[in-house]
């Protein structure tokens, strides 16, 4: 047993090392006092020069970051509404009789699987499909097309987390609310939604991270004024890696870690609350 676990930890350490070594290199060299125009991976001394470059407005990273944030904000907001309502609608539907209702029910369950498609089909296919669609309907490429595309792949993340939470809710809670005089709309507002909030928040964090990170889809549907951060990075490294990209990656990495930690905090907080109240037990 003990020997076994020692091998397991060694294996784990190896995997983590291989995973994080390249990232560590990037972080390390973001502090490199590198004289050249392109990154040279020989450590020549500590410097914060590249971070200074990064925050220089002329570099355009500020504009790219704000594009990314605006895009992520609208994408997550719209996805949260669509994903949450979808999850509630599909979990709380009632079995009804009749041919038409049954056909409707099977259409809904088919829709449920279709809703997951955007995160399962290859990104490049989705990107090309969206691009073709927007050109066909002559929608000018820009923030609108970016938001629509990001919503397409953000919805499933929120939908899955909210649906998972709702599935663990005791249906008696909603019945008790009805029994105490709440209309279905009031049940949703006073019982279902408040109990789903932790799941909605953690779904939103996930979707936010996905939107901030997306390159492939954004590449195909962006316009001239809407260069997002990943697109900006890509255009900077086309002709060799400028050293400030290391700094940029380090900053993005730190932001991502922060988001993940926040997400953990939210969901573990809701877990603790749930453990204190084993209502469905």
Partner 1 sequence: MAERPVLLSLRGLHKSFDTQEALNGLDLDVYQGEFLTLLGPSGCGKTTTLRIIAGLEQPTSGRVLLDGQDITALAPEKRAVNTVFQNYALFPHMNVARNVAYGLRMRGAPKSEISARVDEMLELVQLTGYEKRMPGQLSGGQRQRVAIARSLILSPRLLLLDEPLGALDLQLRRQMQQELKRMQQKLGITFIYITHDQEEAMSMSDRIALMRLGRFVQIDAPRDLYERPQTAFAASFIGETNLISGRAEAVKEGEVLLQVAGFSLPCVSRDWIVPGEALLLCVRAERLHLSHEPVPAPCRVAGEIVESHYAGGERTTVVRLPDGQVLRARHTTEGESEPLPGSRVYCWWHPDSGVLVRDDREETP
If you ran DSSP here, which 8-state letter would residue 39 be given? -
Comparing CB distances to partner 1, the nearer of 140 and 164 is 164
Site string for partner 1, 167-196 (x = CB under 8 A): ---x-xx-xxxxxxxxx--x---xx--xx-
Q: How many angstroms separate the first and last alpha carbons of the chain?
A: 35
Exposure letters 159-179 (e unless 16+ CB within 10 A, then b): bbbbbebbeebeeeebeebee
Minimal distance, residue 246 CB to partner 1, in Å? 45
Whether residue 158 contacts residue 267, with contact meaning beta carbons closer than 8 Å, is answered with no
The footprint of partner 1 on this chain (CB under 8 A) covers a number of residues equal to 26
Pick between residue 151 and residue 188 the one whose CB is nearest to partner 1.
188
Triad 51, 52, 54: Cα angle to 5°: 65
Cβ proximity to partner 1, 9 vs 280, nearer residue: 280
The least distance separating partner 1 from the CB of residue 213, rounded to whole angstroms, comes to 32
Q: What is the CA radius of gyration of the chain?
A: 24
Task: State how far the Cα of 52 lies from the Cα of 71, in Å rounded to an integer.
Answer: 25
Supply 218's token pair.
């954004």
Under the binding rule (CB under 8 A), the answer on residue 235 touching partner 1 is no
Name the residue nearer to partner 1 (CB basis): 58 or 277.
277
Nearest-approach distance from CB 266 to partner 1, in angstroms: 15
Residues contributing to the site for partner 1 (CB under 8 A): 170, 172-173, 175-183, 186, 190-191, 194-195, 273-281
């Amino acid at each position: 047993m003990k020997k076994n676990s020692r091998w397991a930890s060694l294996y784990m350490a190896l995997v983590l090392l291989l995973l994080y070594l390249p990232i560590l290199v990037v972080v390390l060299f973001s502090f490199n006092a590198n004289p050249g125009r392109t990154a040279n991976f020989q450590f020549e001394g500590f410097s914060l020069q590249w971070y200074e470059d990064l925050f220089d407005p002329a570099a355009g990273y500020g504009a790219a970051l704000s594009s990314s944030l605006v895009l992520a904000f609208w994408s997550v907001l719209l996805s949260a509404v669509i994903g949450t309502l979808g999850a509630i609608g599909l979990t709380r539907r009632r079995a009804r009789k009749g041919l038409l209702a049954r056909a409707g029910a099977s259409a809904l369950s088919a829709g449920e699987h279709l809703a997951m498609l955007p995160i399962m089909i290859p990104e490049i296919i989705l990107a090309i499909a969206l691009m073709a669609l927007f050109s066909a309907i002559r929608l000018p490429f820009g923030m609108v097309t970016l938001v629509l595309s990001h919503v397409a792949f953000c919805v499933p993340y929120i939908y899955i987390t909210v649906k998972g939470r709702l599935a663990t809710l005791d249906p008696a809670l909603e019945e008790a609310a009805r029994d105490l005089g709440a209309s279905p709309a009031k049940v949703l507002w006073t019982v279902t939604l408040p109990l789903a909030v932790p799941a909605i928040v953690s779904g939103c964090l996930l979707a936010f991270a996905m939107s901030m990170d997306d390159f492939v889809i954004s590449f195909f549907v962006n316009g001239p004024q809407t260069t997002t951060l990943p697109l900006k990075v890509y255009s900077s490294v086309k002709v060799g890696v400028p050293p400030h990209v290391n700094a940029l990656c380090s900053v993005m990495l730190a932001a991502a870690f922060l988001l993940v930690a926040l997400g953990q905090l939210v969901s573990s907080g809701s877990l603790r609350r749930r453990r204190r109240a084993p209502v469905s037990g």
